[in-house]
Amino acid sequence: MAKLELPARKLTYEEFLTWCDEDTWAEWVDGEVVVLSPASVRHQQLVDFLVQTLGVYVQAKGLGLLLSAPFQMKTGPDLPGREPDLLFVARENLGRLKDRYLEGPADLVVEVVSPESRLRDRGEKFAEYEAGGVREYWLVDPEARQADFYVLGPDNRYDRRRADAAGIYRSQVVEGLWVRPEWLWQDPLPPVLVVLRELGLLG
């Protein structure tokens, strides 16, 4: 498939959506197109693991919709268009979904950090997701073996939350969902069916 040629000028967000096809991973920042680097094997394994476990949980509980990249999220009129690794939209907010992007914040965003994206995920995106009203933000860094969980507080600033004494983090947005961060560092990753059983979805 032919590679898209980068635009020679700044684009409106609507022009960007027309330019960007479903095979191009790119973000829109102040009119500029930012093409994302290809994912590593470990990055993709982690994303797939989270898509399968969280996706089945959300569907089984009828909580909303989980989407994975490439899918655009535009949290506000003056904020960039981003492609989170995963985003969850609660059932009551599904009206924000347009055909090619989410107009407004997801309820939960997960970014799997890579060396190339570390500063962007922890800096620019952190500030944008906070300003745009993303209610919960997970940063999963397989290289550092670190998972950071942030929840939007009453002051519209992120509060960092940690796993409890049993090593479990309980989502504040996805009802009843919990994860063990240690799952994310196992090699190979735990079987999805085993995790779903722990989450109470299988007998």
Is the Cβ–Cβ distance between 105 and 129 less than 8 Å? yes
Q: Give the pLDDT of residue 1.
A: 41
Domain boundaries, the chain: 39-198
CA proximity to 136, closest of 126, 151, 147, 124: 151
Residue 93 DSSP SS3? helix
The model's pLDDT over 130-172, given as tens digits with 9 standing for 90+, comes to: 999 999 999 999 999 999 999 999 999 999 999 999 999 999 9
The token pair at 121 is: 């995920």
- The strand pair at 101-103 and 169-170 is best described as unpaired
CA proximity to 143, closest of 99, 187, 173: 187
The torsion region of residue 5 among left (phi > 0), alpha (psi -120 to 50) and beta comes to: beta
Q: How far is CA 159 from the centre of its chain?
A: 18
Q: Give the pLDDT of residue 3.
A: 57
Inter-CA distances, 26 with 46, 58, 69, 136, Å: 20, 27, 10, 23
The model's pLDDT over 60-75, given as tens digits with 9 standing for 90+, comes to: 999 999 999 989 999 9
* Mean pLDDT, the chain, integer: 92
**What is d(CA 51, CA 75) in angstroms, rounded to the nearest whole number?**
21
The model's pLDDT over 5-58, given as tens digits with 9 standing for 90+, comes to: 778 788 888 888 888 877 777 888 888 888 877 668 898 999 999 999 999 999
Q: Could you tell me which residues are beta bridge partners of residue 82?
A: 73
> At a CB cut-off of 8 Å and minimum separation 6, what does 151 contact?
135, 136, 158, 159, 161, 172, 173
Specify the CATH superfamily of domain 39-198: tt1808, chain A (3.90.1570.10)
Is pLDDT of 2 > 70? no
Q: How many CB atoms sit inside 10 A of residue 15's CB? A: 15
